[in-house]
Chains A and B, each alone.
Chain A
Amino acid sequence: MSKPVRSPTEVAQDIIRPTEEVKVAIDARTAPRADADSETWTVSEHEPPVPRRKILAVVSHLQPNGKHEQGCVFVLLQRPPRIQSIPDEYVVEHAFPVLHNFSISMAQPRQTTVDLSSPPPGSTFALDQPKTELTVTIKPGEDTPFSSVTLHTTDTQGLRLLLDECRRLKEASTAETDDDYDFEPFAWIAPYVADHAVPPLLSSIPPDLRKLQIPVHARLSPASAGVPGSDLSDVEAIREDWLRERMQKEIFAVGEKARLKIRIGTFNVNGKLPSQDLSAWVRDQITLPASALIPPLKEISPLSIGEDRKNPIEEQLGWCLHPGNTIPSGIIPPDSSSLAASSDSSASGATVVDTISEDTTVSDQPPDVPEDPSDPDMLVLGFQELDLSAEALLYSTGTAREDNWCMAVFAGLGEKAVLYEKLASKQLVGMLLVIIIKKRLRPNFTDVRTASVGAGIMGIMGNKGATAIRVSFTPSPSPPASSGSESRPTALAFVNAHLAAFDEMYEKRNVDFHDLCKRLVFDYANSGDDIASTGSWYTPAAVPLGIFDADALFWLVNLNYRLLLPDADVRSLLADYELRDENFRVLRRFDQLTTAMRSKKAFDSFIERPITHLPSYRFGSGMLTDGLGYDMKRKPAWTDRILHMTSRAVVVKQESYTSHPAITMSDHRPVSAAFELEGPAVSVAEYESFMQRVWREVSGIEYAEERPRLRVTPNIIDFARIGHKRTVTRTLEVANIGKVPCAFRFVSQNFAADACPSWLRIEAMAGLVLPGKKTEIILTAYVDDAAAAQLNLGNARLEDTLVLHTALGRDYFVAVSGDYDRTCFATSIAWLVRLPGPVRALQAPSDLLPEDKSVNAPREIMRLINWLMSNGTQTDGLFLTPGDEELVLRIREDLDTGEEFSLEVTQNDSKTTLAFADTLLRLLESLTDPVIPSSLHAKCAQITSRDEAFEILDQFPVVNINVWISLTAFLHFIGQRESYQTKIEHLIAIFTSVLLRDDLNSLMPVSITGKRNFLRYFIG
C-alpha cells in the first residue's frame, strides 16, 4: 500500500506559511554512516531499514516593507509513519539563515554505487537521474550556535539551482545597510524552529480543571480601549482555547466514544463493622431483573465478623480481594439459581454494550457470569470513620477493617462479585478510598497513584483530611489489536475527604477544602504500576500531579456542611411530606455547601445534582429521635455528598444521586451516585498528528511582522426594540483579510466598564481567525431582571460601542443600539407608585412623580389582583400551575403599555386565569425588594398571634401595606374554597418565599416556619 509521493517542492510548500516562498527544493539524504539508528525506519520486519527522506529547501521571505528579502536553507525530515490515514509528515530539522558568514558547497566524492535495492521512499531521482551522488555541506558560520551539516543528493541540476539561489540571497543580505531598517532580522524563522516545541495540548498532563471552567475571555489580561494589556500572553491563552475547541469539534466529537459506568459511594461508618447487606448501596437495583435482587448473603451477624479468619464471606470471596489469585476451581458462584435467571435475561437482547473492550484475555473470569449493561465498570467507595480508636490515629492498624468492608462490598455485589476485583485503595486513619473495577478492564487502567493529607488535630492529624486516587483509563483500541494505535488515556481522580464537624465550623471547612486541594499531590513514585512495562508510548508524566490535573474529578465526601436554618425549621420542613418539593428547594438554598459554592468560597465550579433524598445525618439508635429517626441533639444535615468536575473532553452524565436509608448500621446513611462517563476513544497517533497539523497553522503568531487585519461587518448594529426577557440576536462577521492568524477579544471602553453592556451577550468574547477564514459572533440582546432593574431607571435609548481588539493589531469599533421597552417588572414598589402613567410612556427618569404625589399602590399589581378577583376565583390551582408563556407575555405587555387586557376570558377557560395568576406571582418575584422589607422579617417570624401580626403592618411603608392587604385578602378568599383546603399550605409556602424573600447572604437566616406562620395569620 504505497502513498503517492509528493515532490520536494510540494512538501516544502506544505510546511511554509503564506508569508514565505519556496525557491528551490531537492531530495537529499544523510551521509550513510551518520547516526544510522535514528535516521532510518523500518517499513516491515522483512525489509531492511531505509533512510528517512530528507528535503533541502531554500525559502525566501520578503519583509513587509517590500524591500528586504531574506533567505533560509531548511532541512526537512520525514517523521516516522504512524497510521495509514495520515499523509507523510515532515518537520524542520535545521534552519540556516543565509547571512554573510553562511556558506554552502558541493563536492563530488568518489563515484559510489547507489544501492538500487533499497531506494529511499519517494526517490524520484534513483533511476532517471545520473547516479552520481554529490555531497552538499552547509556551514552556518562560525559565530552561530549551529554546527555544519553534510547531506547527499543525486539531484545535480536541482542542487546547482539551489546554490545559485543561496548566492543571490547572500548578496541581498550583505547589501542591506539602510538605516530605516526596522525589522528583527530572521524573526520569521523562529516559528519554524518553534514547531519543535510541544504544542500546549500535547502534554500528557491534562490542564488544570479549574482553569477550564473559566471562559477564556475571563482569563485574559486586563485591557481596555487604548490600553491593550498583555497581548502576547493573551494570544497564548486564546490560541490554546482555540486549539482545544478544534480538537473537541474535529477529533473528539466525531470519533469513537468510550463509555465507563462509574458508581460512587460515600459512607461514614462511625467506627462500626459491616453488619448489614450493602447491595442497595453498591449496585444499581432498579434496572436489575427481579430475580437478581436477592443478594446471596442477606445478613451477616456482627458477631461472626471481624478478625475471625473463618468468616464465611471471606471463604467465598477472599479471592476477589487479591487480584493475583485465581479462583479455586472447586468454587461455584454462590447462588446458582439466581445466576441462571439473570443469564436468561441477558440472552434476551441485553448484550454487553461496552464499546471499550471485549477483551477476553483475562483468563480467570468465570465465563458464565453474565454482565448487565447497568453493571458499573468501576465502583469507587469512600469510607469515613472506619476506625475511631485512639490507636488508629497514632499508627497504622493494618488492613483488617479495610478487608472487612471490602468483603462486605463484594458480598453486596452478589453473584456479580466474580466479575470484579480491587484495583487500588488508600487509607488514612479512618478515611478509606477503594476502587473496584471489572476484571476484564484491568489492562485499561494504568498509572495508579494515591495521595493522602491529614487536616485534623493541629492541622495535620488524620482524624480529618482526605485520601485520593488517580488512575489513567485507556480505552481499548477499536478495532482491537490494531497495533500502533494506542488510545489516548483519560485521567480520573477521586477524593474521599472528611472535614471538620459542627455547624459553626463553616469557614473552617471552606479553608480546609482549599488546603486539601493544594496539599493533595500524586507523586510519580507513588504510581503503583510499572509504567515501562505497559508498553505505552504515551508516557505518563513523571512529575507530581495535583487533583485538578485530570479529565474528571470526583469528590465523594463527608464534608460535614450543615443547614443554616434553625433546628425546628429543618425538622418540620423535612417532616412535611406534602410540601416535599417546595421544602427541599428551601432547604437546599440554606445548605452550607450550596452557600459556599454560590459565594465561590469553596467547591467553586463543581457540579452537584440537586439533592432529592433526605439528609444522611444524624440517625440514632437508642437515642431520642424525631419522627424521621433523626437524633434530637443534632440538626439533620446533608453531610455526605458527591460532586464532580470535568474537562470538555469528557461528558459525565449523572444517573442517580440518593441515600440508602435501609442501611442503618451507622449514624450516617450511605449515599451513592451513578455516573456514565463518555470520553473520546481516539488514538494517540491520530490525536498527536492532528494537533501538530493544527498547531502549525497558529504557532508563532507572536513572531509575525505582518499586522493582523480583520474585516468586521457590520459596524453598526441596531437591535430595534429590546424588551425584558425577550431575545433579539444579530450576527457580526469577523473575516481575516490579512496574512497572519488573528487573535481577537472584546475589551471595555475604559477600566471601570465591562466589555459588554448589561443588556447584551457576546458569543464569543474572544477568538481566533485564520487567514482567509471568517467567524461569526452572535450578539444577543437580552434583559434579565438584574439588567431591567438598571435599565428601568435610565434612558430608554440604548447606545454603546463595542471595542474589538486584535492582539498585536488595531481596535475595531462596533456601534450597538436599541430602544428599551420599559417594564413594570424588576422594579420596586416605591418606584412603581411614582409612575405618572403606564411605564412604557415614561420618557425619562425625571418625569417620575415626586414622592408626596405618588399613588396609593402600584397600578400594575392592583390591576392583576382586581382582574383575578372578578374572573379567577373559580379556577383551581391558581399560582400552583404555571401559566402559558405566551399569554403571560401578552398580559405583561398590556400592563406595561397601560392598554386594556386583550385576553378574553371564556367560561371554563382556566388557561387565561392561570396565566394572570402566574403573571402576578412573577411580577412580585421580580421586585427588587420583597413586599415585606427584609429588616422586618425576623420580627414577623416571631409573632404568635393574629393581632400582633396586624399590628406590625404599621411598620411597613404605606404602599406596601396596601399591596399586602389586597393580596392576602384575595388569597384568603380563594383559600376559603373547598377545593383549596388541601392546597392552602402550598400557597402559603409559595407566597412566603416571594413576599418574605429569603436573604441568601445571611448566615443566620430567619426561620422559614416563622415566616410561614406570619402569612398564615392573614390567609389561613
Chain B
Amino acid sequence: MSKQFQFKLVLLGESAVGKSSLVLRFVKDQFDDYRESTIGAAFLTQTVTLEDQTTVKFEIWDTAGQERYKSLAPMYYRNANCAVVVYDITQSTSLEKAKSWIRELQRQADPNIVIALCGNKLDLSARRQVSQEEAKKYAEEEGLMWGETSAKTGEGVSDIFTSIAKKLPLTAPPSARGGTRPGVPGGRTGVDLNKQANAGQGQGDQCNC
C-alpha cells in the first residue's frame, strides 16, 4: 500500500495572470479561453503520484486576484503548506505584484510554507516582458521554487505541482483515510485546521466497494 499525503495549497497573484486556468489545467486537463474572473475562492483537489508510488493530494484554494478582495486572502492562505504565486510573463507589473504577495507570505503565512513562483502564459512568449533570468534570479535570492507554464498548452503545469509535491516534507504521517464519510454528517463540529477541506470534497477518501 502506497503512502498518501494531503496538503493545502493556495494560489495567489494579480488578477488575470491565469490562476484559475492553471488550476483547471492541473485538475481537469482543460482550458477555457474566456474565463470569467474569479470573484471568490474556489476549492478543488488533485492528486499527484510520485515515482515511488507516494501520492500527494493537494487541496487547492484558488483565490480572487482583484485588489478589492486582498484583505480576504489571509483567510485562505492561513495554514497553507504551499503557495503558488503566479505572474504573467507578458506583464512586468504582475511580477511586482507577485513579489508583494511573496513578501506578505514570508511575513504572515506559516514559516514552513513552500512557495513556488510561476510565470504563466508561456504560449505568449513572443510578447514576453519578464525575462527568465530576472525571475529566476529573484526566486533564487528568496529561496523559492520557480518555473514557467502555459495553462493554454499545458506546458510545465504538472511539472510545477510535481516539484512542489517532491519538496514537501513527506515525513509526516500519512493523512488518515476515510476521515469524514459522506452521509454521516456532524462528524466534526470544531474546525481542524490541518484537515479543514475534508468536508468540502465529497467522497474523496472513502471506499465502500
A-to-B contact residues, CB < 8 Å:
65, 179-180, 182-187, 190, 194, 221-233, 235-236, 702-705, 712, 715, 749-750, 801, 803-804, 808-813, 815
Contact = CB atoms under 8 A, between A and B. Distances in A.
B182 A702 contact: yes
Given A702-B183, A810-B42, 10 more contacts: A184-B203, A222-B191, A226-B196, A230-B189, A236-B186, A801-B68, A801-B72, A808-B201, A811-B40, A811-B41
Contact of A231 (B40, B76, B200): B200
A194 B182 CA distance: 12
A604 B200 CA distance: 34
B33 to A, nearest CB: 19
Contacts of B61: 226
B71 interface: yes
Contacts of A221: 189
B40 to A, nearest CB: 4
B41 A226 contact: yes
B91 interface: no
Given A226-B61, A236-B185, A702 B41 contact: no
A66 to B, nearest CB: 9
Contact of B202 (A65, A179, A705): A705
Given A809-B43, A811-B40, A230 B186 contact: yes
Main DSSP-derived SS at the A contact region: loop
Given A229-B191, A749-B72, A705 B41 contact: no
Interface of B: 28, 39-43, 45-47, 49, 61, 64, 68-69, 71-72, 75-76, 78, 180, 182-191, 193, 196-197, 199-204, 206-209
Contact of A808 (B28, B64, B202, B207): B202
A910 to B, nearest CB: 52
Nearest to A799: B68
9 contacts: A180-B49, A184-B182, A236-B185, A702-B185, A808-B202, A809-B200, A811-B42, A813-B69, A815-B69
B41 A810 contact: yes
Contact of B200 (A225, A808, A812): A808
Contact of B75 (A226, A230, A232): A226
B193 A702 contact: no
A716 to B, nearest CB: 8
A141 to B, nearest CB: 12
B183 A703 contact: yes
A180 B200 CA distance: 20
A190 B76 CA distance: 32
A185 B206 CA distance: 10
A179 B48 CA distance: 11
A810 B39 contact: no
Contacts of B188: 230
B40 A813 contact: yes
Nearest to B209: A185
A750 B75 contact: yes
A230 B43 contact: no
A187 B203 contact: yes
Contacts of B64: 813
A675 B6 CA distance: 60
Nearest to B28: A65
Nearest to B76: A226
Contact of B72 (A187, A803, A810): A803
Contact of B203 (A227, A703, A809): A703
A341 B71 CA distance: 78
B7 to A, nearest CB: 15
A695 to B, nearest CB: 15
Contacts of B183: 190, 194, 232, 702-703
A858 B144 CA distance: 60
Contacts of B190: 222
A142 to B, nearest CB: 14
Contacts of B45: 182
A813 B184 CA distance: 29
Given A232-B180, A235-B185, A812 B209 contact: no
Given A221-B189, A225-B41, A810-B42, A232 B72 contact: no
A227 B196 contact: yes
Nearest to B191: A227
Contacts of A229: 191, 199
A227 to B, nearest CB: 5
Contact of B69 (A186, A223, A233, A801): A801
Nearest to B183: A702
